[in-house]
């Protein structure tokens, strides 16, 4: 019978280890205060851009349109060659600007000369985007920068601190979220993820860990921003531990009503919902 107790013990230890790994972080009073503005808020994905690119994603007009609609905004930041924090999603410029060059290979002067799609709009600096947005709540996604992660975090935080307190950060990279855990514990921080096979540029064991939120022990995120798809079991378990819940990216045809009931913040694109949806929050008191 000893082997039965050993097996049961191993199972209990493994379950405890898994729960430890996926557990979100606890919100301090400062974090709760900063995060409150996002509850029940619809956030325009890369600004309120249009499908025909007349208003390009992550552009000043897209941010102006989102502000005028009283939406929150989700945007992406990364470093230029000369370490300027620019607002741009892809790691290279091919899809949006038509040249197959990594963003990090060009300095700000070179990047600012490029046009977004076939418009006259250009890549903005983070500080320009924030100046446009004013007091609009902003979800800032930091793109993984490898060896430059720390510099990206430092520069981004310095800019955001001047903007006020209506923002939070998220990243696919647990190391970036962990940096904010250590260096800016008052900032709401989130783990961005989706199912393992949907993670771009990540595969194998790393994808399994990230897609199932098993990296949460590194960064203890306050919120989970998960893609609008079926969630793995471990993600469902994590959500039961009451982190803030953000869903991305809702588009026409998705079950919006269901998403409003199940999530605290919605990131959307290609339609114009009400700025807020009814959301009863009991665990921020």
Whether residue 279 lies inside any domain: the answer is no
pLDDT at 20: 95
pLDDT at 10: 65
Tally the domains of the chain: 1
Q: Return the SS3 of 172.
A: coil
Residues of the chain where predicted confidence (pLDDT) is lower than 70: 1, 4-5, 8-10, 280-285
Whether residue 41 lies inside any domain: the answer is yes
Whether residue 168 lies inside any domain: the answer is yes
Whether residue 13 lies inside any domain: the answer is no
- To the nearest 10°, report the CA torsion of 42, 46, 49, 55: 150
Host domain of residue 67: 29-268
Read off the pTM.
0.95
Whether residue 284 lies inside any domain: the answer is no
HSE-CB for 233 with a 13 A CA cutoff: 3
Cβ 225 vs Cβ 35: under 8 Å: no
pLDDT at 90: 97
pLDDT at 281: 65
pLDDT at 5: 62
């Amino acid at each position: 019978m000893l082997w039965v107790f050993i097996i049961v013990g191993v199972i209990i230890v493994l379950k405890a280890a898994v729960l430890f790994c996926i557990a979100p972080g606890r919100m301090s009073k400062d974090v709760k205060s900063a995060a409150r503005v996002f509850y029940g808020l619809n956030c325009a994905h890369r600004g309120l851009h249009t499908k025909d690119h007349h208003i390009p994603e992550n552009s000043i007009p897209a941010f102006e349109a989102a502000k005028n609609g009283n939406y929150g905004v989700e945007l992406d930041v990364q470093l230029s060659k000369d370490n300027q924090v620019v607002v741009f999603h892809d790691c290279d410029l091919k899809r949006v600007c038509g040249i197959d060059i990594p963003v990090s290979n060009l300095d700000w002067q070179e990047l600012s000369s490029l046009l977004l799609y076939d418009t006259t709009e250009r890549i903005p600096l983070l500080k320009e985007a924030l100046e446009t947005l004013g007091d609009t709540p902003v979800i800032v996604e930091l793109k993984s920068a490898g060896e430059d992660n720390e510099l990206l975090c430092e520069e981004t935080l310095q800019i955001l601190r001047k903007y006020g307190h209506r923002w939070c950060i998220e990243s696919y990279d647990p190391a970036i979220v962990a940096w904010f855990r250590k260096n800016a514990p008052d900032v709401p921080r989130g783990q961005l993820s989706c199912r393992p096979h949907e993670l771009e540029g990540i595969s194998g064991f790393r994808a399994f860990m990230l897609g199932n939120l098993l990296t949460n022990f590194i960064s203890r995120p306050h919120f989970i921003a998960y893609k609008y798809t079926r969630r793995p079991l471990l993600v469902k378990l994590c959500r039961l531990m009451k982190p803030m819940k953000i869903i991305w990216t809702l588009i026409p045809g998705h079950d919006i009503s269901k998403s409003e009931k199940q999530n605290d913040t919605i990131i959307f694109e290609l339609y114009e919902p009400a700025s807020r949806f009814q959301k009863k929050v009991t665990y921020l008191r």
